[in-house]
Structure 1
Amino acid sequence: MTFDPTTLRRDDYGFFGPDSPSWKIWTAPSAVIGFQRAVVLEHFDPFLTAAVADSRGIYSDPRARLDHTFSYFLLAAIADGRTAIQAAEHLMRVHAPMTGIEPISGRRYSANSPETQLWIHITGWHSVLKAYEVFGPGPLSPKEETRYWAECAIAAELQTCKPEDVPRSRDAVRAYFAEVRPRLCTSERAEEGMHHLLWTPRSNGAGLSYYVGSRMLSLASVALLPKWMRKLGRFDRPGIVDLAIKLPAKILVWGFTRFDKAGLILAAPFIAPMAGQILEQHIKGESPATPETITPAAARELYGSHGSRAVTAHAG
């Protein structure tokens, strides 16, 4: 994924705008904790595990691979429509050749399949909300939460997810997880991926900063995962550790928020350079040419590879 941080918000406010819960939650320091939670639990889906294991991206260059993934989520949430659509199209091109046979079921997998993309999308949006609630300011108001899940469904339009399958409330998300749970499982390759993400070794360009950073984040992110997942993935720990980490993690998140996330931006070159550039531009708060929001459909028509330029932004 290529990204020019000077063009984060050149055209419009993107899909949600400054007053949206998506902007608030995805740019909070707690989102980093939620992101690690998401990429770990994603491995319980055997088809996604097969795609990750066969591509080997998280092993050959973990810093770049995870930085690009986190950056995509940020762009979908806070960038202008042009940048978000171009990032989505790039991601689908990257995923296109990632196909093969899932060894447990013997069925074919595709990284761009609607089911896989929905799993990635929902685990990401749910995890950052969970981290915000536990380590950030706390739960959203009922009105904000309703809007957050509506925005989650809008962001899902950027990928191959079937609109009718996208949950639009917390209860619907719970129902989705209950529906997919029977097909979730672990395996040697799934455990390898989860443990690598929680405790990334000093190899393949990860370096000392990523080695330390993954371990520090795991103290908080593991506390957000259900016990059954932790046991199944062989990374469970005593509940007293979860209790012990909660207050220090909340204080750290508060501290980063108190200083306008400067700590995250300073640390970004060592952990997630592209995401740091996106956050830095976001914090500058520059207004777009048209201070309005736009729909993904309109943005795709304006800026997509095969769209026309006959659609204008609508007020948000």
Structure 2
Amino acid sequence: MLGIKTRAALREEFAPHADYGFFGPGSVAWKVWSHPTSYILGFARAVTIEHLDPNLAAAVVQAGGVRYRPHTRYGRTMRYFALVAFGATEPTAKAADVLVKIHSKAIGNDPVTGSTYDANKPSSQLWIHMTAWHSILYCYEKFGPGRLSPHEEAQFWEECARAAELQTIDPATVPRTREDVIRYFEDWRPHLAASEAAQDMVHFILGLDVALPPDMPAWQKRAMSPMLYVLRHGIISPYPQYMRQMCGLRQGPLLDMLIVPPNKIFHAAMHRSINLSMLLMRMIAPAALEIAMPVLLDIPADNPITMTPREAQAKYGYELPVHAHQDLRARQHDRVFAKGEAPSDEGLIESEQHIGAMS
């Protein structure tokens, strides 16, 4: 059994980051993303409603990673988002560059729309980006400390746009106010589709036990069932009604109301105890631990500077993501659409040292 450790003792276990990344101490991104509401509630809300984009659902289902190695896929995704929020500039810029390679193989034919999909498509990347940042803030407000001040919220959305520079997104298309974010999701609503595959993936992820270590004893998973029930219905409660209907989820306003207090209590306890926070992260996303803990433990960076992603890309010699690896993307396109072959795994092996192991 793990013992309780002081913050001073825990600081000895984690190396400082080389710098403060893209946000740094005092940023609203650090304040919101470091709160425990982001680890499960916000993150799981994002990765479930993402599947209402039929292109994304097709990419996920045809790749198969979420279904056949959910714990690893969940951990790799959390590590990448932790890098964006907390990581030093060079390893995060590298991970973002490698992610373009990974996404180059996420192309194919969408059986729902009859069109093709490409995970590097800027509009698809913006959908993923906005569902993540919006869900993290929504759950922070609902189950954590509450609404940000107007000044903090304005800064949060500016930082959201800054983070978008790490993807193929045009930062000018990123909403920068609450009203613009609401309008963005309303504008996307006609593009959403609740296919059988999308519903299946949403229900699969909402089981939550799929994010637990695959070697966890069955009795431990059963013991966690009450907590998972509380968390699962907490994730659903911020879903708008039309998304619940599309996902085939039935949860009424009474349960929405009753599920809030236990979730607030749970996350307040996690926020007060760094040991509990670390235990949870080690359980569901061990690959993200070394990225998040220096920030959670207030370990000073070796070099106390921040930069924008564009500055980091220029400094470390990476192309803008939208232009990166065009040769590879063209080869993948030729394999899939011209030759009818499966895309190559180029980039996947390389990604393990940057985003975490696949096995």
Q: Aligned-pair distance for 1:249?
A: 0.6
Letter in 1 for 2:26: D
For 2:246 and 2:143, how far apart are their aligned partners in 1?
A: 25
Figure out how many residues of one structure are paired with residues of the other and give that number: 301
1:119 has 2:119 as partner:
no
1:277 aligns to what?
290
For 1:190 and 1:283, how far apart are their aligned partners in 2?
A: 34
Q: Aligned-pair distance for 1:271?
A: 1.4
SS at match of 2:300: coil
1:44-63 equivalences under 5 Å are 44-63=52-71
Q: Aligned-pair distance for 1:200?
A: 4.8
In structure 2, the gaps of 5 or more residues are 1-12, 321-359
Q: Aligned-pair distance for 1:136?
A: 0.3
2:30 aligns to what?
23
One of 227, 235, 243 as aligned partner of 2:241: 227
TM-score by length of 1: 0.89
SS at match of 1:155: helix
Q: Aligned-pair distance for 1:78?
A: 1.4
2:267 aligns to what?
253
Deviation larger for 265-274 or 38-47: 265-274
Q: Aligned-pair distance for 1:165?
A: 1.4
In structure 1, the gaps of 5 or more residues are 308-316
For 1:83 and 1:119, how far apart are their aligned partners in 2?
A: 24
1:173 has 2:173 as partner:
no
Q: Aligned-pair distance for 1:214?
A: 5.5
TM-score by length of 2: 0.79
Q: Aligned-pair distance for 1:304?
A: 4.3
- Is the Cα contact below 8 Å between 1:46 and 1:102 reproduced in 2? yes
1:297 aligns to what?
310
Over 3 Å counting, the alpha-carbon distance change for 1:110 and 1:128 in structure 2 is same
Identity over aligned pairs, percent: 38
One of 202, 214, 226 as aligned partner of 1:205: 214
Superposed CA offset, 1:26-68 (max 9, x none): 1100002100000010011000000011111111110110111
Choose 1 or 2 for highest CA Rg.
Answer: 2
2:152 aligns to what?
144
Over 3 Å counting, the alpha-carbon distance change for 1:107 and 1:204 in structure 2 is farther
Over 3 Å counting, the alpha-carbon distance change for 1:57 and 1:206 in structure 2 is farther
- Give 4+ residue runs of structure 1 displaced > 3 Å after superposition: 5-8, 200-216, 304-307
- Is the Cα contact below 8 Å between 1:157 and 1:163 reproduced in 2? yes
Q: Aligned-pair distance for 1:201?
A: 6.2
CA RMSD across the alignment: 2.2
SS at match of 1:224: coil
Superposed CA offset, 1:56-87 (max 9, x none): 11111101101111221121111111122122
1:135 aligns to what?
143
2:92 aligns to what?
84
1:75 aligns to what?
83
